[in-house]
Amino acid sequence: MTRSWLHFGTLFFAISAQAGDIQITLDRKKTSPNHTRGGLEQQTSQKWTGTLRVENTSARTSPDLQAKYVVIVKRQELAEKTGSDHLEVVKGEANVTPLKKGESFSADTTEIELRQQTLNAHYRYKSGGQTRASDAIAGVWVKVFSGTNLVAEYANPETVKSKFKWE
């Protein structure tokens, strides 16, 4: 079973993958309301986290597991040239105690702040830099290990595996 949706521009992801006896689910959750700052530049920010869920779908109890994830955030800044995005890699992990048949474990990922910035109307940068900038989630990669053995993995989009090195 594989279910996935990821919307670039706003943090909006839910992924699910089943590999063997372990199912991985990652759902987004807004943790703070919009915060707006004014002035010459308008900035709105929201804080988000994901709920990582590891479920044992086998008939036997799982061993101790370790879930590791990487969230790749695309950052933009006002005044920079279009296409000069910066990538930020947010890493995390959770230790999972043995799970009986049908049991699951949940943990929240590291909180991520996404910003949207706009230069007020009638203003432009002499350099030709962008007057709007938005942060977005560029990808998510989750791996579940038993000791040093990989037992489940999911990436959304799949190209995350070829574009980024797992460290």
What are the sequence ranges of the domains in the chain? 2-157
Q: Which amino acid is at 129?
A: G
- Residues 2-157, CATH architecture: Sandwich (2.60)
Count Cβ neighbours within 10 Å for each residue of 107-123 and write b for 16 or more, e otherwise.
bebeebebbbbebeeee
Which pairs with CB-CB distance under 8 Å and at least 24 residues apart come from 147-150? 147/63
- Residue 33: both structure tokens together: 């309301």
97/157 Cα distance (integer angstroms): 29
What is the per-residue pLDDT across 57-113, written as a single tens digit (0 to 9) for each? 988 999 999 999 999 999 988 767 776 778 999 999 999 999 999 999 999 999 999
Any idea which residue has 């949207």 for tokens? 116
Q: What is the mean pLDDT of the chain?
A: 82
State yes or no: pLDDT of 13 exceeds 70: no
Q: What is the pTM of this model?
A: 0.78
111/130 Cα distance (integer angstroms): 27
